[in-house]
């Protein structure tokens, strides 16, 4: 499926990682967040004010760097006529490796989701929290928290729990009021319980089918009600497929939801690992099958992507690939691991002059959007992930052989 948003988020994840690794020598890295819908000129005014207070910075070098960073940001914001739809994040500062040197760099991003934070911040590191949250929100899990008296159906987005359904039940406890026959009481109680389960199921089916991006669902609650609930088998098949398992809690309601998240971490971790293992096992199977629908190796994979026959690219997080553009007697491109350099040309014998270098994902962006190619990063934490590294750390599933 073509999902430019997913691609944007992969890019975002990379940027967050890159910026997170930068540490200023001094308090001289500037972060600016312009929220969606915020007046850009007002932000520029804020920065001009900050610039005028920057003269109070004691160290001359730091003062110079902060002022220069602010200059650069103000100039950059001046390129926009108005705030982009999702806002704008700008990072700028001196990243020179040696003390006393100056190398003011600027990164800017129109985030894939609306930015809510407004921020000017000058520190030794960039403030990445709003972007980190966006990255984390990619992973959504579902929760059904249920006992005899209360239920919640909730989504877990990154670290945020959002309850979308809450209800209290009328199912009485096992002890009955005097006067009723115990058989009749049990029947009534069973009936009420069944209605209760149906009510919760309806909400869960609706909420979870509205969110097909949910990666897994946890069923939680104190006591055996959650198991009884599962036994009734009322959930849609599509929903049931995503159940990761059950989690015991001491509470219902908000407390119970937090407990579910805390105690369910292992379930979530396992499910991500299992998914990745399955994906790679499928890949190895295709590779070994004669005429199988898989490709591996850097050039082979890039080629296939550009021809539009790749359904999904798999790339190991352990290897960084780049596209290098260079010139000898003519302009050329090669794909390589970061750090590798083009060989001397055997046609003209001239030493290659590198013109530019792009991350592979950026180099593949156009083709992958055009052909709807998904790019999946896999870890090297599993045995399969290690085995994949032995295949060069890059490959893909083909739609067909051509
Ligand atoms: Zn040449």
Cα–ligand 1 centroid distance for 321 (angstroms): 23
Please, what is the angle between helix 360-371 and helix 4-20, to 10°? 170
Q: How far is CA 157 from CA 142, 143, 160, 216, in A?
A: 9, 11, 5, 12
The whole-number pLDDT of residue 299 equals 95
Name the 3-class secondary structure at 72.
helix
Residue 42 is inside which H or E element, if any?
helix 40-53
Cα–ligand 1 centroid distance for 347 (angstroms): 5
Cα–ligand 1 centroid distance for 341 (angstroms): 14
What is the rounded CA–CA span in Å between residue 339 and residue 229?
A: 56
Mean pLDDT per block of 10 residues along the chain (402 residues) reads 60 84 90 94 94 89 94 96 94 90 94 88 91 78 95 89 93 68 84 93 96 92 95 92 95 96 89 87 95 95 95 91 94 92 89 90 83 86 92 95 81
Cα–ligand 1 centroid distance for 351 (angstroms): 8
What is the rounded CA–CA span in Å between residue 153 and residue 163?
A: 6
Q: How far is CA 336 from CA 297, 324, 342, 346, in A?
A: 11, 7, 8, 18
Q: How far is CA 93 from CA 32, 72, 169, 180, 274, in A?
A: 11, 9, 57, 77, 41
Cα–ligand 1 centroid distance for 339 (angstroms): 21
Class of domain 4-135: alpha beta
Residue with the two structure tokens 């940001």: 73
The upper half-sphere exposure of residue 338, i.e. CA atoms within 13 Å in the direction of its Cβ, equals: 9
| Burial class, 63, CB count within 10 angstroms (exposed 0-12 / middle 13-18 / buried 19+) | middle
Q: What is the CATH number of domain 140-263?
A: 3.30.420.60
Q: Which residues surround ligand 1, an ion (CB under 5 A)?
A: 328-329, 345, 347-348
What is the rounded CA–CA span in Å between residue 230 and residue 253?
A: 19
Domain parsing of the chain, residue ranges: 4-135, 140-263, 273-398
**For residues 304 and 335, is the Cβ–Cβ distance under 8 A?**
no
Is beta strand 310-316 parallel, antiparallel or unpaired with respect to 331-337? unpaired
Cα–ligand 1 centroid distance for 336 (angstroms): 18
The whole-number pLDDT of residue 183 equals 84
What is the rounded CA–CA span in Å between residue 164 and residue 112?
A: 24
Determine the Cα angle at 194 with ends 190 and 198, to 5°. Answer: 170
**For residues 190 and 176, is the Cβ–Cβ distance under 8 A?**
no
Cα–ligand 1 centroid distance for 333 (angstroms): 12
What is the rounded CA–CA span in Å between residue 310 and residue 339?
A: 27
Cα–ligand 1 centroid distance for 344 (angstroms): 8
Q: How far is CA 308 from CA 365, 366, 368, 373, 397, in A?
A: 12, 11, 8, 8, 12
Residue 57 tokens read as 């910075």
Threshold 0.75, pTM exceeds:
no
- Superfamily of the domain at 273-398: Ribosomal protein L30/S12 (3.30.1330.30)
The whole-number pLDDT of residue 1 equals 37
The whole-number pLDDT of residue 270 equals 84
Q: How far is CA 10 from CA 17, 112, 205, 295, in A?
A: 11, 10, 29, 22
Instruction: List CB contacts of 105: < 8 A, sequence separation 6 or more.
Output: 92, 93, 95
Residue with the two structure tokens 């007002």: 42
The whole-number pLDDT of residue 5 equals 61
CA proximity to 119, closest of 214, 47, 188 = 47
Please give the biggest Cα pair distance in the chain: 103
Cα–ligand 1 centroid distance for 59 (angstroms): 50
Cβ of 369: how many Cβ atoms within 10 Å? Answer: 13
Name the 3-class secondary structure at 225.
helix
């Amino acid at each position: 499926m073509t999902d430019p948003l997913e691609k944007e988020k992969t890019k975002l994840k990379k940027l967050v990682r890159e910026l997170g690794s930068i540490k200023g020598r001094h308090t001289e890295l500037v972060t600016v967040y312009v929220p969606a819908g915020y007046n850009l000129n007002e932000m520029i005014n804020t920065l001009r004010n900050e610039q005028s207070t920057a003269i109070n910075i004691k160290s001359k070098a730091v003062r110079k760097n902060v002022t220069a960073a602010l200059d650069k940001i103000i100039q950059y914001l001046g390129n926009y006529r108005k705030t982009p739809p999702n806002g704008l994040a700008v990072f700028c500062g001196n990243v020179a490796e040696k003390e006393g040197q100056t190398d003011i760099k600027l990164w800017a991003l129109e985030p894939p989701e609306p930015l809510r934070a407004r921020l000017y911040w000058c520190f030794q590191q960039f403030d990445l929290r709003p972007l980190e949250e966006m990255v984390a929100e990619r992973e959504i899990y579902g929760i059904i928290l249920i006992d005899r008296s209360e239920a919640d159906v909730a989504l877990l987005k990154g670290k945020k729990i959002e309850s979308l359904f809450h209800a209290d039940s009328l199912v009485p406890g096992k002890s009955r009021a005097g006067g009723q026959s115990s058989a009749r009481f049990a029947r009534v109680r069973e009936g009420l319980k069944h209605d209760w389960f149906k009510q919760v199921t309806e909400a869960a089916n609706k909420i979870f089918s509205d969110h097909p991006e949910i990666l897994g669902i946890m069923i939680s609650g104190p006591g055996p009600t959650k198991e009884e609930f599962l036994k009734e088998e009322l959930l849609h098949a599509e929903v049931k497929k995503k159940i990761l398992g059950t989690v015991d809690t001491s509470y219902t309601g908000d407390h119970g939801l937090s407990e579910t998240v805390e105690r369910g971490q292992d379930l979530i971790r396992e499910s991500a690992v299992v998914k990745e293992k399955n994906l790679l096992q499928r890949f190895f199977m295709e590779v070994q099958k004669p005429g199988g629908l898989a490709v591996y190796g850097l050039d082979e994979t890039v080629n296939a992507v550009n021809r539009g026959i790749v359904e999904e690219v798999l790339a190991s997080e352990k290897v960084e690939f780049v596209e290098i553009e260079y010139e000898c007697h003519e302009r050329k491109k090669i794909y390589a691991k970061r750090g590798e350099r083009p060989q001397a040309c055997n046609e003209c014998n001239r030493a290659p002059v590198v013109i530019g270098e792009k991350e592979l994902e950026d180099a593949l962006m156009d083709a992958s959007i055009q052909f709807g190619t998904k790019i999946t990063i896999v870890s090297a934490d599993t045995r399969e992930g290690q085995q994949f590294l032995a295949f060069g750390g890059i490959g893909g599933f083909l739609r067909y052989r051509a």
